[in-house]
Amino acid sequence: KQEVTQIPAALSVPEGENLVLNCSFTDSAIYNLQWFRQDPGKGLTSLLLIQSSQREQTSGRLNASLDKSSGRSTLYIAASQPGDSATYLCAARRVTGKLIFGQGTTLQVKP
């Protein structure tokens, strides 16, 4: 059974700092892995999707990596801004298309 874990549950950093969010999964037979952002009281916004054959994906200040052999993915945020404050969720996608979500990391970037 696929389990997805995100550590830490919460993170607070000063503005401008580079940071890494971690996501681990137990079953390496994933099709791809996706990172989402969720603002308080809102739905999910897709940030990055990494195929199982890829090592990383980049979008602006965000960079996501994937290491299937070790069951890990990281989301790197460069030069963090207060507007980056949100909950970040990772989800592993099975071949069937079903998503298995982690619990999320709540990020606060202080001005």
Partner 1 sequence: NAGVTQTPKFRVLKTGQSMTLLCAQDMNHEYMYWYRQDPGMGLRLIHYSVGEGTTAKGEVPDGYNVSRLKKQNFLLGLESAAPSQTSVYFCASSPMGAPPHNEQFFGPGTRLTVL
- DSSP bridge partners of 33: 50, 92
Question: Can you tell me the distance from the alpha carbon of 96 to that of 11, in angstroms, rounded to the nearest whole number?
Answer: 33
Write out the residues near partner 1 by the rule CB under 8 A.
Answer: 4, 6, 9, 31-32, 34, 41-44, 46, 49, 51, 89, 91, 93, 95, 97-99, 101-104
**Beta carbon of residue 37, minimum distance to partner 1 (angstroms, whole number):** 11
- Pick 28 or 81: Cβ nearer partner 1: 28
Q: Are strands 86-93 and 19-25 parallel, antiparallel or unpaired?
A: unpaired
* Of residues 4 and 21, the one with the C-beta less far from partner 1: 4
- Identity of the residue, 18 or 46, whose beta carbon is nearer to partner 1 in the bound complex: 46
Report in angstroms how near the CB of residue 17 gets to partner 1 at its nearest: 25
Q: Which of 102, 81, 111 is nearest to 21 (CA)?
A: 102
Contact between residue 13 and residue 111 where contact means Cβ atoms under 8 Å apart: no
Shortest Å distance, C-beta 19 to partner 1: 20
How far apart, in whole angstroms, are the C-alpha atoms of residue 91 and residue 98?
9
